[in-house]
Each structure stands twice: as structure tokens, then as C-alpha cells.
Amino acid sequence: MIEREKASVSRAARLSVAPMMEWTDRHCRFFHRLMSKQALLYTEMVTSPALVRGNATHLLRYSQAEQPVALQLGGSDPAELAEAARLGAQAGYAEINLNVGCPSDRVQNGAFGAILMRDPKLVAECCAAMIKASPVEVTVKCRIGVDDQEPSDVLPEFIARVAGAGVGRFTIHARKAWLQGLSPKENRDIPPLDYELVQQMKGLFPALHLSLNGGVTTLADAKAALDRGMDGVMIGRAAYHQPGDILMDADHMIFGAPKLERTREDIVMAMLPYIDAHIAEGGKLGQVTRHMLGIFAGKPGARHWKRHLSENAHKSDAGSHTVVDAIEMMHAARPAA
């Protein structure tokens, strides 16, 4: 049973939406799942200290409708990560992922994230402990190196060491992280991409499932990477800012499912019951709709949709009717056919 589930999640990882702090929360994931039934979704990074020492198990909340969904953990203490992985598996996540890629100061100060690229032995120890504690698959998301490391030397050694601990699936952000001198935002754009090096890792480690991350902005780019032999592709900001462009055709283009005739408005309307339930529980409209602003990106009237929600979703009486009003305003702004 566990092997079948691992195979299913590995297949879902042909296309995944990256874990992104303050973006890929449970509302975002529910919205994305309406567009793609098959892509693998990730939580925001949850730190093992928050779960284990802070007892912040509310951070594990999600809906079964989001599955397959993976929990990304941040940490560097093997015992603590093992307990966090156990909690994640107990909560029902389909995968537990270790963050070895985030370059933020807060993460560095906690001695985890991209700084762990300097210590593959510790990463292997962490992964071994997590694997022992978790019945679901443990994976790693990493960079190709940090600071003055030579990626062509560092990355193969890192993968070999961590794979030796039992990790069979890696997502590789094809950029270095500069821990000094660049902000986290700059680290997403300024260090050059090295797709060729990531492709070489697939040749060196053919038995591993390797996904490419970084700079992929279209489904066509993702399919091209898969056609070159990568096992998966992870898309970040493009999947968030233009979710319709990335996710609505993903099941057909990437997974070979029949093409569904749905409109972006169909997706928005399907969100209304979720919005009503969230507000009935005491939630706010803007907590959900902030993730929906890009659904009409590039389409006529999109600016009016986005503006109406941005200006009104925070109001005390805002609700699903506010979303319907935004659609009507978008229609009214479109030129006559």
C-alpha cells in the first residue's frame, strides 16, 4: 500500500507548485486544486521547532480536497525533524519535504534552509531520522550550491550523501543561493540558472526522481524539461500569479488526462461555497481572494476584477457576493464582441 502511494505521489511530482511563504497556504492550495486534480501541491515551510517545541499543530491544517499535498519542513536537528515528520505523516500528508534551499536571514539564523548545502552529512542524518519516523516518503528541495561553492563539485556530493540516507526524490532549484549580499527576492532572480548541471545530475543518478525548479514560467517550458529526461518540474511564482495559465491545462498537457472544457469563471464560481464556509467559520474574504487575483491575468477586464477585490475584500460585509460583483465589473469593462 505504501509503495503504491509513493508511486502515486512521484507521478504527481511530474508537475508541482513550489512551497512559497505567505502564499501557498490552505486557501491557495484549495483554489489551485480546482484547476489541477493531479499536480503535487506543497505547504508553506513549517519549522520543526514551531511544531515540536511550540506545539503549533494548527499549522498542519488542510483539507483532504487538497491531496496530494506535501508538507515542507525547515530545521536542522535530526531528532526534532523526526518528530515533526511523524506529526506530518500522522496528519495525513502525502510527502514530507526538507527545505535545503531557502536563503532568508531568519532561516540562516536558525541554521537551516540553503545554509545546509554546506553540511551534507547533517542533511543526511536529518533525512535518515525523518525516514525512520515517517511512513510517508521523505524528499529534499535544495539549491545547486551556496556562496563560493563550485556547484559541479558540491551538488553531486550532496545528492550522493543524502540519497545514501534513503532519499529517492529531490527537487533542485537550478541557482546558487548567495547568503551574503543578496536578499531572498534577489536570490530568486540574480544568480544565473544552470539547467545543464541539473540535467547532468539525472545522468549521474538515473535511479533517483529529480525535479527541476527555477525560472520555469510556462507549461511548454515544463513539458520541454520533462521531454529532456527530467522526472518532474516545480513551478513557483508563475503558478501563483498566473494560475489559470499554468494549472488549468496541466492535467492534459503534463499528465495526459482528457482536456476539460472549463472557463476561469467556472473555477471562480466553484470557490464560492468554500468562501461561504470560511466566512461562516469567522474567516475573512480577503484571506481567500488574495490568492485568486491572478486567475484572469492577461484577459480583458482583469484589472477591474483585481481592483474590485483589492478594494472591497477587507470590508466587514464582504462575502461571495463581492466576488460575483467583481466578475460582473470585469464583464462590463470588456469591449463588445
Largest interatomic CA distance in the chain: 63
Around Cβ 71, how many Cβ atoms within 10 Å?
28
Q: Which member of 102, 126, 127, 142 is catalytic?
A: 102
Which of these, 266, 238, 311, 32, lies nearest to 303 by C-alpha position? 311
Contact 52, 82 (CB under 8 A): no
Instruction: Give the three cell numbers for residue 244.
Output: 489559470
Q: Is the backbone of residue 136 left (phi > 0), alpha (psi -120 to 50) or beta? A: beta
Dihedral sign of CA atoms 29, 30, 32, 36 in order: positive
Which of these, 160, 145, 231, 234, lies nearest to 194 by C-alpha position? 145
Containing H/E element for 42? strand 40-47
CA distances from 81 to 95, 98, 122, 140 (A): 14, 9, 12, 13
Tell me the C-alpha distance between 281 and 9, whole Å: 31
Around Cβ 203, how many Cβ atoms within 10 Å?
8
Question: Would you say how long the chain is, in residues?
Answer: 337
Q: What are phi and psi of 46, to 5 degrees?
A: -115, 130
The yes-or-no answer on residue 102 being catalytic is yes
Alpha helices by DSSP H, the chain: 2-12, 26-35, 48-52, 78-91, 105-109, 120-133, 151-164, 184-187, 195-204, 219-227, 237-241, 243-247, 250-253, 264-280, 285-289, 302-312, 320-333
Q: Write the DSSP string, 190-206.
A: SSPP-HHHHHHHHHH-T
CA distances from 321 to 58, 249, 276, 326, 328 (A): 29, 28, 10, 9, 11
User: Any idea which residues carry the catalytic annotation?
Assistant: 102
